[in-house]
Structure 1
Amino acid sequence: AFEEYAMKAFDAHAIDYLLKPISKTRFAKAMEKFFQANQALGMNIPPSNEENMHSESSNRIVLKVKNEIKIIPISDVIFLEANDDYVNIHTKEGKFLKNKTLTFYEKNLDPTQFVRTHRSYIVKINEINKIEPYEKDSYQLILKNGSKIPVSRTGFPKLKSALGI
């Protein structure tokens, strides 16, 4: 948005006007003004935190692939791999990129089905074929599809707990 349009925006009864680059703090203030204005008008739009605004159903992942919206059932997910602020979702059908963090999925996926084995990986427990030693004091998972996933020192106790060993 450009500064010269700010006056026009307020003439049109805008609640706030944001200039790029937009900080999270500034955006939150604008949203707070929005909710206060709606409350004053008697509209009941509850504020929601970022997590709720972006949460997905626990049985699917929705993403955009080219010009299509793709729905991936959680049952098709084999593992998730961190890729900066994105996640590669590996499925039986292929690999898909989603603009979420691995931490988001760690918090939202069913812990009885998925385990974080490494800072870069979350694995579906039922897809694990075997655990084998790898380098000094570490392990790797061999999945049913042949993928090899590292297990970190902090991930190993989580893995053992998830597998009940």
Structure 2
Amino acid sequence: MKIKTLIIDDEELARTLIKKFLEDQNDIEIIGEAADGFEGLKLIQNLQPDLLFLDIQMPKLTGLEMLELLPKPPVTIFSTAYDQYAIEAFEKNAVDYLLKPYSKDRLLKALDKAKEKWQRNESPKIPEIPLKDAGSRRVVIKNGTKIEMIPYQDIHYIETYGDYVWIHTESGKYLKQRTMKEFENVLGADFLRVHRSYLVNTSCIQKLELYEKSSYLLVLKSGGKLAVSKTGYKLLKDHLGW
């Protein structure tokens, strides 16, 4: 049985090189190629490949953002120009990578690992690279058949939901499999953790209301109201001068 393979890279030369390196691999069948993450996502959904050669840094939609939108990604070999910190993250998560520029020998070594995973029917674990290293300042969400790109500044607040978070915006709320801590680390001073369940965009805050003795509610410009913890109340006073 041949391994159905897709190549997704915005550089035509890189795609051509991979095809050249694979031409003597009799068990590999290249079923398509794409120049960006949107096109790649459509091909994956339509062709159901066994193996991906996937660039990370692409316009429109990065490789990591694309994989996050797939419920069960194919076995994946990443190509990257990331720094050593990110490479260590790939290694810890047992996902192979090709650091550009790479040789045919290096690609074939990665291919051998990928074949073993494919034979064991293993899906790759997406590298848990911090949001600040994963691309531009946005969150990518799959909303039905649509892909939404939400700039950080458009987020009103983030709410914990088990292993997920709800991202609340003017247009609605969206579920994302990321931790609150990740968002807290990358969003910095623009957002305040006013409660263990809420991380709030300070530009969306209207006022603080007394709910009961020593208990407060944060009122947003959108009209929403959020509980405030004692630690959150202190943060609000310190950061906003209340």
TM-score scaled by length of structure 2: 0.47
Whether the 8 Å CA contact 2:159–2:165 is kept in 1: the answer is: yes
Displacement after TM superposition at 1:63 (Å): 1.4
**In the alignment, what sits opposite 1:162?**
239
The change in CA–CA distance for 1:30 and 1:98 in structure 2 (over 3 A counts) is closer
The change in CA–CA distance for 1:152 and 1:69 in structure 2 (over 3 A counts) is same
Displacement after TM superposition at 1:52 (Å): 3.7
Whether the 8 Å CA contact 1:128–1:141 is kept in 2: the answer is: yes
Displacement after TM superposition at 1:158 (Å): 1.5
Paired residue secondary structure (2:92): helix
% identical aligned pairs: 41
1:101-151 C-alpha deviation (Å, 9 max, x unpaired): 11111011131x211100000111111111011233121111111100111
Paired residue secondary structure (1:82): strand
Q: Aligned partners of 1:124, 1:51: CA distance in 2, in Å?
A: 23
- Tell me the amino acid that sits aligned with residue 238 of structure 2: S
Whether the 8 Å CA contact 1:79–1:124 is kept in 2: the answer is: yes
Report matched runs for 1:1-165 at 5 Å: 28=92, 30-31=94-95, 34=96, 50-52=128-130, 55-57=133-135, 59-111=137-189, 113-165=190-242
Q: Aligned partners of 2:150, 2:92: CA distance in 1, in Å?
A: 31
- Tell me the amino acid that sits aligned with residue 114 of structure 1: F
Structure 1 gap ranges (5+)? 1-11, 13-26, 44-48
Segments of 4+ moved more than 2 angstroms = 27-31, 49-59
**Further displaced range: 101-110 or 51-60:** 51-60
1:56-81 C-alpha deviation (Å, 9 max, x unpaired): 44631111112232101222211111
Displacement after TM superposition at 1:55 (Å): 4.6
TM-score scaled by length of structure 1: 0.67
- Tell me the amino acid that sits aligned with residue 51 of structure 1: I
Structure 2 gap ranges (5+)? 1-26, 28-90, 108-126
**Further displaced range: 137-146 or 154-163:** 154-163
The change in CA–CA distance for 1:140 and 1:29 in structure 2 (over 3 A counts) is closer
- Tell me the amino acid that sits aligned with residue 92 of structure 2: A
Matched pairs, number: 132
The change in CA–CA distance for 1:53 and 1:157 in structure 2 (over 3 A counts) is closer
The change in CA–CA distance for 1:72 and 1:140 in structure 2 (over 3 A counts) is same
Q: Aligned partners of 1:29, 1:127: CA distance in 2, in Å?
A: 37
Q: Aligned partners of 1:98, 1:124: CA distance in 2, in Å?
A: 17
